[in-house]
Structure 1
Amino acid sequence: MRALFVGGVVDNSEMDMEGGQPPVHYPEDTGGGHSRYRLHQIGKQADGTVAYAVYGAPDMADEEVARVADERAYARRFEAEAELFVH
């Protein structure tokens, strides 16, 4: 699974993630009270496999993260169906 980041200091960055389900926040637990990136969108392939997860910066509106993810065409790139992650 690929983690994709929108906004903040790591905007437009990517990294590989282990596991079948992405964590709700990245990093999962800083322990320092710092704001973390929040999961906004999951891209699933036809067989149900999670291909990617889109994380938005703490100060970004949901609509803006969705707009940027659509603009960057993550679903097409990973041949997946985008699903909004409901918190």
Structure 2
Amino acid sequence: MIFEKLPGGKIPENIFRKEEHMPLIWLLVGILIGLLVSRFIFKDKPIGSLRVDQSDPDSGTYLFLEIDRGGMDDIYKKQTVRLRVKIEDYISHK
């Protein structure tokens, strides 16, 4: 075993002491908290909705872009945008 190569062939007593590993544990906890917080802060917010209407079986699917107030500014500022998808059929099939 690896511990047999140590002087005396014994495991040092202080190798598993919790007090020495606490700074490393707190560092890892801080990194995880930072990653979670930054994920919510820098998450893209949707600028509008893409409405999908499949109510007319004779024609294809219709797509409508509904932009929220202030959403046009984001279209010009960003290369990619995020949309909510709403699947709504407005013509009933009775």
TM-score range, shorter chain: under 0.3
Greater Cα radius of gyration, structure 1 or 2 = 2
Which structure has the higher relative contact order (CA within 8 Å, separation 6+)? 1
Whichever structure has more strand as a proportion of its residues is: 1
Q: Please report the TM-score for the alignment, with normalisation by the length of structure 2.
A: 0.20
Q: Please report the TM-score for the alignment, with normalisation by the length of structure 1.
A: 0.21
Whichever structure has more helix as a proportion of its residues is: 2
